A and B are shown apart, each in its own frame.
Chain A
Amino acid sequence: MHPVTLYVNGEKHELVVEPLRSLLETLRDDLGLTGTKEGCGTGYCGACTVLVGGDPVNACLYLSVDADRKAITTIEGLADENGALHPVQRAFVENTALQCGFCTPGMILSAAAFIADDPEPSESGVRAALAGNLCRCTGYQSIVRAVLDAAKHMRDAGRAGERPGRRALIRARA
């Protein structure tokens, strides 16, 4: 058993975990953050995507011990301090870029990290960035449109390049 300190969505959690416990299990079962989904458990569907230090990872393959002292953003922590949705979340609502919603949290976190790196993406760039997140309902077209819309919104709002989950990062540093 290993003691770990996780900074999840800006909250500090001190836990003791089994060496092979995945970050997904810790988030869902120990911290009750069920917004992160398990779709395949082997890193092929991306439904469990969370941000570690601002970068997307498959939480099902990421060990909790490796997340020690790192800032983690889950879908529950993507909105800002005032609860305002991240532009990618808002664009998913406006474009109906979801149906069953099971892939949506992971899809949104992948997209939010991607447009921070590439604030003016092409359509094919968006598709390549989301290739690790499977969606069976939508056919992806509305998702791609939403991500392009969100990127534009962030540029127009002077937020191009802003890392998602800033709240979590700032708190973790403090």
Chain B
Amino acid sequence: MLGAHRERPDALAKVSGATLYTADVALRDALVGMVLRSPHPFARIKRIDTQLAGALPGVLAIAHAGTVPDKRLDFSIKDQQLFPKTYARYAGEPVAAVAAESVTQARAALDAIVVEYEPLEPLLTIEAALGANAPLVHPDWQTYEKSDSRVLRGNICGYNRIRRGDVDAAFAAADAVVESEYRLAPSAPGYIEPRAAAARREPDGGLTVWCGSQSPYGNRDELAAFFDLDPTKVRFINQFVGGAFGGKILMATEWYAAALALQCARPVRVVWSRHEDQLNVFPRHGGFARLKSGAKADGTLLGMRASFFFNTGAYIGYGSGTALIATMLASAPYRIPNLDLEATLVYTNAQVAGPVRAPGGPQANFVKESHLDELARKLDIDPLEFRLKNAWVDGDVSPSGQKLTSVSVKETLRRAAAAIGWGKDLGTDRGRGLAATWWFSSCGGSKARVAALENGRVRVASGNPEVGTGSAAAALPIIVADVLGIDPSRIDMELADTATGTYDSGVGGSGSTFSAGQAVEAAAVRVRQKLLERAEQMLEARAEDLVLEGGRAFVRGTDGPGISLERLVQSAGGEVSEAGEAPELGDPEIDESLVETHEFAAWLAPSFTATAAQVEVDRETGRVSVEKIATAQDVGFAINPTGVVGQIEGGATQALGYALTEELKFDERGLVNANFKDYLLPTAVDAPSIEAIIVQSPSEEGPHGMKGAGEPPVTTPAAAIANAVRDAVGTAPNEIPMTPERVWQALQSAQRHSAGKRSRSTATP
């Protein structure tokens, strides 16, 4: 059962158009909620007047800074109000919201709201924000509450460092030293379902919210706290989610639907258009990085210095993970005895960057793997050999001193490389590249209830939302079915709904199956126990002689019919229902002396992933065609291999977009490509052939030895593509995305460089 490829239980409804997403939920009398956005990247709000708008026909509610509690959202730096009061800090920031009978009336009301702005000089880049005498995105930053571990200093809102050994001595001892600088564009999660929510005030003073969140319990608590509501009376009913990729962890539409619904006797629905969704996007961080590394002539790495700067936009939100993870990835998964790795988060007047699938992963890996490839080339060592020489093995330590077990870096590298025929001749302008990484699993807390029913079916309630990955829809049923000895088709998964009380920390950190899987398993084991107790009496046998399999209990070794699950449940007087909970797993031990203001330096059940890419480069146009991507991912144990393959294939294609086309572009008016016309997601024509290789080197902590699987496959392909471009034409852009223009420019400058060298050498007597 576990580990077998199988169809998804939710597939039939999805191919039939029967699956309901948030915008599909029928709500009687729902009002249309819409948002008014600041047109300025940075402006002082001098006045907001809603009187005229409120008098228009069909308008039932208007929300703005003056109608909601005067407090700040509960992030690690309390830097954000629900609606800004004095400053609008990015173009597209919601400053007011209306609820009306129709779209037309809502639009008319937005037009009638008067907001007087005093536009200010926006800070659009990290360089501008860190410049001498730069204005402040948050002029009153010194008054903000923040958590102790958070660095806040003017436009700097995060900093962490990992240091070991002496990098300068390492560079002095090295035979080759390389220095590089890379630039990274911000990009979008790119889910196809724009964000939507509906909210309804309830007679008992509570609030019901229909949403498509990655974290309905966390969102509920945050919303209840902000509006001073009793959290037990606030109910978040999660629907099927049309893709999330980290972009639906923080609330967006939920806030505005709630702020309006609390003023109305009728439900309010807020559905973003794609344009609005992109204006309100929580992007993958852009930024830049400078690296310097040294190695011995035989390829042994001696030291690395890395400095990352990330543009986190107008508010901190959940943006700090990117900087914390970047320093953990900068040198990994390679043995480098001397390290000095730092990352800085910077406020600018841009959209609030967020925890997009594997925050920091694609960025740090592009930077680090490109840089190490340069070093390997300088030493004239094959990139695979270079990586294998330095790769972690069991017993090595992480940058923060965590002792590593179940390490599979070499296996993932070898298998990915073999899958694209590493070392065989490819002809001109074609090349291959590699990248490797490590990642973590998360166990953020999860509860579940499993109920065996009189009809022989089993109902499972988990608070883990189904966002598309199949963790909740496919993997959890497999785990329960395995325990209860039935086919997964007999399991009915309930969607996450806070009314069930089965708390879950949500989809994030490659932790869904890892944590929710343990919760449903614990509950299922208790149900099994109860059922076997019944069977003991009915079959007059001892529990240890009984088997629960094929939907019945029977005495081991007999062919007797035994007793069906239905009859066992009936004899127990109806529904056999038990609760379960994921265990609290402590953090692995690290060497605290190596880290500075770093809250995420201990990684649970680490996983290892390598990608090999094969490309062809058109020298005339700079266009890169990715022919093949092979990703070998160590998932510890694949409970649901169909799901793992889906994560690898989908991750590779998202990463292809990251590598070649996806870029949120800004000018002095703010984000300019807030649509799917100029923001280019990969199509079926762009996507390469993808080979998913599942490596299984079991973890100690994960259920059945699993390691988190969702994020790693998006972190390595862009780096592998960059290295394949370098292999094909001798150079590659030091900038993401590697658009045709940037590839072409890299080719031109390499040509000039080598022409210059030639002329110099001929001039030498």
Contact = CB atoms under 8 A, between A and B. Distances in A.
Contacts of A28: 24
A65 interface: no
Contacts of A136: 189-192, 243, 245, 650, 654, 681
Interface residues of B, number: 54
A39 B243 CA distance: 11
A76 B470 CA distance: 23
A86 to B, nearest CB: 9
Interface in A36-57: 36-42, 44-45, 47
A127 interface: yes
A36 B17 contact: yes
Interface in B21-55: 21, 23-24, 26
Interface stretch (B6-14, B422-430, B576-584): B6-14
Contact of A44 (B467, B642, B676): B676
Interface string B54-93: 0000000000000000000000000000000000000000
A148 interface: no
B193 A100 contact: yes
A100 B11 contact: no
Contacts of A105: 15, 17
A137 interface: yes
B213 to A, nearest CB: 14
B8 A140 contact: no
Given A41-B273, A93-B7, A96-B642, A104 B650 contact: no
Contacts of A158: none
Interface string B398-438: 00000000000000000000000000000000000000000
A71 interface: no
Nearest to B6: A96
Interface residues of A, number: 53
Contact of B467 (A39, A40, A100, A140): A100
A139 B687 contact: yes
A108 B14 CA distance: 11
B336 interface: no
A139 B651 CA distance: 7
B649 A142 contact: yes
B468 A74 contact: no
B676 A137 contact: no
Contact of A144 (B13, B192, B675, B684): B684
Contacts of A104: 14-15
Contacts of B244: 100
B8 A96 contact: yes
A139 B20 contact: no
A4 B147 CA distance: 61
Contacts of B194: 38-39
Contact of B240 (A38, A101, A133): A101
A144 B687 CA distance: 11
B468 A100 contact: yes
A100 B17 contact: no
Contact of B468 (A39, A42, A101, A139): A101
Interface of B: 7-8, 10-21, 23-24, 26, 189-194, 240-245, 273-275, 467-470, 642, 646, 649-654, 675-677, 681, 683-685, 687, 689-690
- Cβ-closest 8 pairs across A and B: A35-B17, A100-B468, A102-B242, A101-B14, A75-B17, A139-B653, A139-B649, A34-B24
